[in-house]
Structure 1
Amino acid sequence: MGNATVAGSAKPRAGSWNLGAAQLSRRHVGDGAEEIRPLDEVAVDDVVASTPWRTFRWYAGQQHYSGTYWAATESDHVIYESRLELARLLFADFDVGVQRIAAQPFLLSCSVGGKERRHIPDYLLLTNAGPVIVDVKPRRQLASKTVAFTFEWTRSVLTARGWRYEVWSEPPPIELENVRFLAGYRRAWFFDPDVLAAVRSAVWEGIRIEEALSAVSAYPAPSVRAALFHLLWRQEFSVDMTQRLTTASVLRTAS
């Protein structure tokens, strides 16, 4: 959901580029010491446990928007370097198939056509289906030959390692608006287990949000409303995220 696609989705042409042995550099948590190893010898769990290769920068007149986002998936803050990267973080945090999120996870280096190339991907997502390396780039920049070249050799190297690679651009605006709204209810410790249980018992397949809210009368309405949105964030229930979320939205139960 929200995956705006990718330049370089065609079959990698690694053989035609004469790619040299790739190396991955990561930084240890704590002292920030650098470790460089051949890519095919690196365990993804070690990469996830690394500190970001670089942190965001603040300077006068900068054109990008940097910050930190508290991710429920990590129970910790994750950095981003643009509003588009923040959007990708929101979607990753909302995805129940994502187990870990690592920002600026490593420096990838490789000899491409006899020249040393280097690239730092934006995110590593450890998912139920395996690792996914993500680069985030505005759609308008994907036509750049330099950008396309970087993403293509990166894709070739990472897919040869057995890792998935994704280039993510602007998501559908309504989906982003819905996910951003539900993210306001992501912190589990704010919610009374009794209220959550009452909301669960009031929801059935096809009921509208307004009907579910009115069915729980034993607790204050604001608490019931917040609890329902938290359960939507956890995806215990679902709605059509391609449509604007309203009290008329129809709830679906987990299959």
Structure 2
Amino acid sequence: MPVDGALAALPVEEAAPARRFYAWPGKRNYEGSYWFATTGRHVAHESLLEADYLMAADHGPAVVAVSSQPLIFLWPRRTTTGGRWHVPDFFVRLADGSGRLIDVRTPARVAGGEVQFAFTRQACQWAYEVFTGIPEPFRANLRWVSGFRHPRHSPSPGVAAALVEAFTPGTSMAAGLRRAARLFGSRAGGDGMSAVSGNLLHMLYRHRLRTDLNVPLTMSTHVEAEPAMAVAL
């Protein structure tokens, strides 16, 4: 039975974890924290698969905030074959104000959790998703560009303008980088190649430039400016 609708209005994205994260020698899961560029905060995770989810959510333009293990569902007695309680892995707040609960499971563990997933979906006041992984080569590409998500890789206005101009119209990554380096170098009075490479990957991660991350990234990959960025010039 769904819980009180007032829950949907709570800022769950600001919640602290509802339980502690324990580690012990020989534990199979890898615990850690992921620096979530969208909010500038570290978010705890209990496995590399959960870290993959955070990486994908951080890249997703619709996600504006996330919290880890933000609440606990307590099920009525004798209603589930498993435990009487469940802690979803993540809550994300979306740009339109709506929310989404996330459970992260390997494909092999999905079948065993179907009853629990159904209870969670019925009870929660938000959309609900069971995340099972990121397909390749999207995952490999996203891992590459996510390494440049930190603001230290954010381009200055001059470099950003040079990159947008270099990839308008779209061209290969190699050709665009050369053109951006020439443009920026001529404006800054120096060689701009070393400055623009990391900035390019940062702009791809933050959707200021775009390419198809579902195919392997190479220096021949076609990259273009987002229309809004090109118009802004």
Show the counterpart of 2:95: 128
| Superposition TM-score, scaled by structure 2 size | 0.85
Structure 1 pair 114–172 and aligned structure 2 pair: CA distance change class (3 A): closer
| Aligned with 1:95 (options 60, 71, 85) | 60
The ranges of structure 1 where at least 4 consecutive aligned residues each deviate by more than 3 angstroms after the TM superposition are: 112-117, 189-192
Counting aligned pairs with the same residue, the percent is: 27
Structure 1 pair 133–112 and aligned structure 2 pair: CA distance change class (3 A): farther
Show the counterpart of 1:188: 151
SS of match in other structure, 1:140: helix
1:179-217 Cα distance to aligned partner (Å, 9 max, x none): 111111111234441222221221113311111101022
| Aligned with 1:214 (options 178, 190, 204) | 178
User: In the TM superposition, what is the alpha-carbon distance from 1:73 to its structure 2 partner?
Assistant: 1.1
- Output the CA distance in 1 between the equivalents of 2:165 and 2:173: 13
- Higher helix fraction (1 or 2): 2
| Aligned with 1:228 (options 190, 200, 204) | 200
- Output the CA distance in 2 between the equivalents of 1:238 and 1:112: 50
**Contact 1:73–1:101 (Cα < 8 Å) also in 2:** no
Show the counterpart of 1:200: 164
Number of residue pairs matched by the alignment: 215
| Aligned with 1:118 (options 85, 92, 106) | 85
SS of match in other structure, 2:137: helix
- Output the CA distance in 2 between the equivalents of 1:241 and 1:229: 12
- Output the CA distance in 2 between the equivalents of 1:191 and 1:99: 18
- Output the CA distance in 1 between the equivalents of 2:111 and 2:79: 24
| Aligned with 1:164 (options 121, 124, 127) | 127
| Superposition TM-score, scaled by structure 1 size | 0.78
Show the counterpart of 2:188: none
- Output the CA distance in 1 between the equivalents of 2:53 and 2:109: 17
1:39-82 Cα distance to aligned partner (Å, 9 max, x none): 42224443222111124222111010000111101201001000
Gaps of 5+ in 2: 186-190, 228-233
User: In the TM superposition, what is the alpha-carbon distance from 1:238 to its structure 2 partner?
Assistant: 1.1
**Contact 2:153–2:202 (Cα < 8 Å) also in 1:** no
**Contact 2:75–2:85 (Cα < 8 Å) also in 1:** yes
- Output the CA distance in 2 between the equivalents of 1:72 and 1:122: 19
Show the counterpart of 1:6: none
Show the counterpart of 1:149: 115
User: In the TM superposition, what is the alpha-carbon distance from 1:222 to its structure 2 partner?
Assistant: 2.2
- Output the CA distance in 1 between the equivalents of 2:42 and 2:204: 22
